[in-house]
Amino acid sequence: MQLFPTIEVQNGKPVSLVRGRLDEPQIWPVDPVETVRGFARAGAAWIHVTDLDAVEGKPPQDDLLRELVLAAEVPLQVGGGIRSRERVAHLLDMGVGRVVLGTVAVGYPDLLKEMARYHPDQIVLAVDVFEGRVMSKGWRETSAYDPGDFIDWFKDDPLAAIMVTDIDSDISDAEASLALVSDLAGRSRHPVIASGLVRTLDDVARLKYVRNVAGALVGRALFNDSIELRAALALAAQPLEEVAAFL
């Protein structure tokens, strides 16, 4: 399983959000460029970055993103407020390895399909779920889409992955969130990246055994020292052990 150390940046600073509340960020007193360098030195093969300024509709933090691309020396997967083919092309030209799209897929699914065909294996579909429905615009708007049906709509498109976030995970029990990700991973023809579920090494170990979950994001747990990145990467990379069948 691929582990994606994750950094969310707002006004140039690394932060964590609770249920997407942009007005109440937890600010981490670290340098984002040095943080990304540290992720790469620890052995990360990919790093996930979310531009929260762009999510808010502010100008994207392109100067910082360029610094992060150069500092990381491993591919970046970038999300946050990306809603046009021009923005996708700009980020890829900047050196970003993958872009994450959610809102555009809800509002303009044919545009998402077009971009996936034009940039095969470089588009990640974000499926953010709250109370059984797909959310958009930074978790602020509820769509009519059932998440399973939404995933099925893109089953034949050359996506790099589908990233599933259970927005309820900040307030609900971990078992319910794991069940949601497991269900959607079982329906998806694309590899699934779980977001918001890794708080301890035990969470990494559990996700490894969920069929079709090929990756997981880990962010806040790295900043509050709940998880040591080298240990998490080593655990994620271990081959699966055989599990006895239930009788």
Q: What separation in angstroms does the CA of 3 have from each of 103, 166, 206?
A: 24, 18, 13
Contact 180, 212 (CB under 8 A): no
Nearest to 213 by CA among 240, 243, 186, 234: 186
Instruction: Choose, from 128, 157, 166, 203, the residue flagged as catalytic.
Output: 128
C-beta neighbour count of 223 within 10 angstroms: 20
> Is 8 one of the annotated active-site residues of the chain?
yes
> Is 128 one of the annotated active-site residues of the chain?
yes
**Packing angle between helix 109-118 and helix 85-94, nearest 10 degrees?**
30
CA dist., res. 235 & res. 226, Å (int): 15
Instruction: Choose, from 8, 157, 166, 203, the residue flagged as catalytic.
Output: 8
What residue has token string 């491993």?
74
3-class DSSP state for residue 8?
Answer: strand
3-class DSSP state for residue 210?
Answer: coil
Nearest to 185 by CA among 221, 150, 213: 213
**What is the rounded end-to-end Cα distance, in angstroms, of the chain?**
27
Active site residue ranges: 8, 128
